[in-house]
Amino acid sequence: MDTVKLYSSSAEREVYENMAALYAIITSLEYLERAFARDSVSATEYTSECSKLLLQYKTVSQMVSGDELANFSHTYRLNCPAATRRLEVGIPSTIEHSNASGSGTNAKHVADAVKGFITTMDALSLGMRSVDRLHPLLTDLLQSINNAPFVPTDFKWKPVF
């Protein structure tokens, strides 16, 4: 049996290694989601590992040639619906579905507010100064802050409608 070389240069080898890493991350996330659904993994362990895998996915997916998740999954015949959903949402299930009394809800609201703040700051640093571009970003930021249950009712920017 002859050996088939997938690459002829170190750059091509790096591409294949990155795609293999992406495949492994997606598959690992699928098994983690299934284990959590079966209660084989504690919520703390799940949150920690899921966050780590999500960060790894974001890093490795930038190194792979911009393939979208759906295209990558179809091309390499990945059947990972739970991992695909988790990657689309971008946060662990424990944070997404936490109850109102838990700190997970607070973390979700804080994450939404931080996301809005960073997006607005990025727009400003890119030189966007028109009201048409900044108003929707600021509106989203204030809505995410106002949706947080821990913000006092007398907060100066709470809407009075």
Q: What is the pLDDT of residues 63-105, one digit of tens each?
A: 776 667 778 888 888 899 999 999 888 888 888 776 444 556 6
Instruction: Pick 3 or 139 by higher pLDDT.
Output: 139
pLDDT tops 80 at residue 16: yes
Cα gap 95→109, rounded to integer Å: 10
The average pLDDT across 100-114 equals 72
Cβ-count burial 82-107 (b if 16+ within 10 Å, e if not): bbbebbeeebbbbbeebeeeeebbbb
pLDDT tops 70 at residue 43: yes
pLDDT at 35: 95
Instruction: From residue 149, give the alpha-carbon distance in Å to each of 91, 109, 143, 161.
Output: 19, 8, 12, 18
Reduced to 3 states, what is the DSSP secondary structure of residue 49? Answer: helix
pLDDT tops 80 at residue 157: no
What secondary structure letter does DSSP report for 3? Answer: -
pLDDT at 98: 65
Helix axes 81-89, 43-63, angle to 10 degrees: 80
Can you read off the two tokens belonging to residue 93? 């299930």
Question: Contact, 108 vs 47, CB < 8 A?
Answer: no
pLDDT at 102: 53
Instruction: Pick 113 or 1 by higher pLDDT.
Output: 113
pLDDT at 50: 92
